[in-house]
Amino acid sequence: MPKKAQKPRIKRETGILILLMGHTGAGKSSFINTASNRPNTALVNESITSESVEIMHFTIPNPANPSERPIIFVETPGFNHLKVDDYQILRLVSEWMAKSCAPDVDVGGIIYLHDISQPRTNKTKCLLDGLSSPETIKHLLLTTTKWDGRLREYEPREKELKRKTWQKLLDRGAQISQFGNDRLTGTESAWKVINMLLKQGPLELGILQQDLDRIAGKGNQAHKKKSRKGLFAKLFKLFGLNSE
Ligand SMILES: Nc1nc2c(ncn2[C@@H]2O[C@H](COP(=O)(O)OP(=O)(O)OP(=O)(O)O)[C@@H](O)[C@H]2O)c(=O)[nH]1
Ligand SMILES: [Mg+2]
């Protein structure tokens, strides 16, 4: 008997989806725990490597508006992962949304977390640069984490992020914010970040999926090109020819 297609678990009324993205260790799980004011909601990874390629979601009520739909945080596997490349991660996220969410689910947007304590910005180059829909970019919030009160030391790094790494995204309508670098409590600071996104109004799930699929598709093409090049190099070698 043919298998019945499973109904998506997340419906429009279940909540508003927010994707938490960023490099491994950027503080995605810690952000969720701080927002929910419960330290054990998501598992904080104290290891120096990231093992999980699982996509997890956490439903958190909005403390300022408990009668509103809750926020469904989707913690995506960290970029720069040991096991899967960044393109695959975007593909996994899009597949997860297609499987788990009804098509009319509202998306609050993407919070892209960046660890400001990291001295190098070249690792912060990320695939989200390839987002093309103005709607998706309007719902992208580039958020720095781990300020630890070191404002003077880290502010020049934030300036450099704005001027160089993130400049194009910011010019196209993305926003920037800081988590935990204000006089607010951690939870208040997290909700200040979340509310910046919610103010933009909802993003359609389909638009976000299309954008992520397009970037992930570029990874497929690059991978095919690379394997074709490798195959030709092997054949040339076999026949004693120079492939250059
Ligand atoms: N110094 C400092 N460390 C932090 C802060 N927030 C999180 N960390 C630490 O950063 C490490 C990674 O935190 P996580 O919240 O697990 O990061 P993640 O992005 O979920 O990591 P993966 O799920 O492995 O990709 C842990 O050791 C945390 O204790 C912060 O504000 N300051
Ligand atoms: Mg995590």
Query: Alpha helices of 37-175 — where are they, by DSSP H?
Result: 86-100, 134-138, 151-160, 167-171
Compute the average pLDDT of residues 60-71: 90
Q: How far apart are CA 45 and CA 49, in angstroms?
A: 8
User: In angstroms, rounded to a whole number, what is the distance separating the alpha carbons of residues 35 and 188?
Assistant: 8
In a domain, 209, yes or no: yes
d(CA 244, CA 233): 9
Where residue 75 sits, what CATH number does that domain have? 3.40.50.300
pLDDT value of position 221: 61
Q: Is residue 87 a part of any domain in this protein?
A: yes
Q: Which amino acid is at 145?
A: T
Nearest-CA residue for ligand 1 atom 25 is 24
In a domain, 49, yes or no: yes
Q: Inform me whether the pLDDT recorded for 3 exceeds 70.
A: no
For residue 5, being part of any structural domain is answered with no
29-56 confidence digits (pLDDT tens): 999 999 999 988 998 887 766 667 889 9
Give nearest CA residue, ligand 1 atom 9. 27
Quote the pLDDT of residue 197: 96
pLDDT at 184 over 70: yes
Q: Is 223 within the bounds of a domain?
A: yes
Answer yes or no: is 39 within a domain: yes
Say if 164 falls within a structural domain.
yes
Q: Using a 6 Å cutoff on CB, does residue 44 contact ligand 1?
A: yes
Average pLDDT over residues 133-144: 97
Per-residue pLDDT tens digits for 200-209: 999 999 999 9
Count CB atoms within 10 A of the CB of residue 151: 11
Residues 149-165: pLDDT tens digits?
A: 999 999 999 999 999 99
> Given the structure tokens 């300036």, which residue do they identify?
159
The residues, ordered by sequence, that sit 6+ positions from 40 with a Cβ below 8 Å of its Cβ are 33
Listed range (7-16, 57-66, 219-228) with the worst mean pLDDT: 219-228
- Alpha helices per DSSP H over the chain: 28-36, 86-100, 134-138, 151-160, 167-171, 186-198, 205-238
Residue 239 confidence (pLDDT) above 90: no
pLDDT on residue 190: 97
> Which has more confidence, 110 or 130?
110
- Residue 84's pLDDT is 86
Domain range enclosing 159: 12-238
Total of domains in the chain: 1
Residue 225 lies in a domain: yes
pLDDT at 242: 58
Say which residues have a Cβ less than 8 Å from residue 72's Cβ, sequence separation at least 6. Answer: 10, 14, 15, 16, 17, 18, 57, 58, 59, 60
User: Is pLDDT of 76 > 60?
Assistant: yes
Judge if the beta carbon of residue 108 lies within 6 A of ligand 1: no
pTM above the 0.85 mark? yes
- Ligand 1 and 50: CB distance under 6 A: yes
Task: Determine the distance separating the centroid of ligand 1 and the alpha carbon of 234, expressed in angstroms.
Answer: 43
Q: 194 and 18 in contact (C-beta within 8 Å)? A: yes
CA 227 to chain centre: 28
pLDDT for position 223:
56
Determine the residue of 33, 38, 45, 54 to mutate for testing ligand 1's pocket, defined as the one with the most ligand atoms within 8 A of the Cβ atom.
45
